[in-house]
Copies of this chain bind each other. A is one copy, B any other.
């Protein structure tokens, strides 16, 4: 059987899955990313496992697809990823090609998610859409005219780093007011803490997670509800700007914060009605990814590989 290997690289763990053309994940395994100080060792261990498994099962490995933070399709490198211990530019695709002899493609995780949606998810029939991943940060992948938009250097799709509040919150990128400082799990927690300080004039000592705030909001906690409302407001501004530029048919939300459901989606709808340019109102569907389970990242990475070789 023809298969590709889809690899989702995370700071703590990486997951590898074998996927056929129909998008079935035949087998997957996990490797601890942080155990490998050198990317070369990491690549060798995964390559050996891949080869052994394919030989055992008599699979024909057609290609490898990798979704990685700060991944670049043109260079096949991970470039200066703040959440990985591998520093600088890491030519991961080249390392896999050397170890396996198989074509290898690498892009950032949000682009991989977008390719996955196009191949297997809600975007099968769409030519113009945006996938927004709402996790610790905010990632995005844009399809335009039926093609993933890479930009001239492979770094297109940085919606999380569009500035929505000039001179606003400090962002990890060194600038201020980026969308992801407001519309992400981190942004939600920050907003909650700011509201707590304003309303209760107390200091913020609790170590809160987005999940905690979800639970509080579900219980009717007014400040948690306001934090979700404000997060949705900023997300609506960012989405409205992305729509004004690319005019997509749909926005597909993905990731932890997207699973907050109506807590986020209801105020998002209200604010989109406020912030969307008139000509786009009622035209753009806001969807939550249907692939949002543990396999979605693997599907995305494998879709990249199928996409490039077919």
Give how many A residues have a beta carbon under 8 Å from the other chain's beta carbons.
46
Known: A174-B278, A278-B173. A162 touches B247 (CB 8 A): no
Distance of A228 from chain B, by nearest CB (Å): 18
Asked if residues A277 and B152 are in contact (CB atoms below 8 Å), the reply is: no
**B128 A151 Cβ-Cβ under 8 A:** yes
Majority SS at the chain A contact face? loop
A149 neighbours in B (Cβ, 8 Å) = 144-145, 246
Contacts of A150 in B (CB 8 A): 145, 247
Say yes or no: B244 contacts A159, CB within 8 Å: yes
Chain A 137-193 residues near chain B, CB threshold 8 A: 142, 144-145, 147, 149-159, 161-166, 173-175
Which among B173, B175, B245 is the interface contact of A246 at CB below 8 angstroms? B245
Q: Residue of B at shortest CB range from A126? A: B152
Residue A237 interfacial (CB < 8 Å): yes
For A114-143 the 0/1 string (1 means CB < 8 A from B) is: 000000000000111000000000000010
List A residues at the B interface (Cβ < 8 Å). 79-80, 126-128, 142, 144-145, 147, 149-159, 161-166, 173-175, 237, 240-242, 244-249, 274-275, 277-280, 283
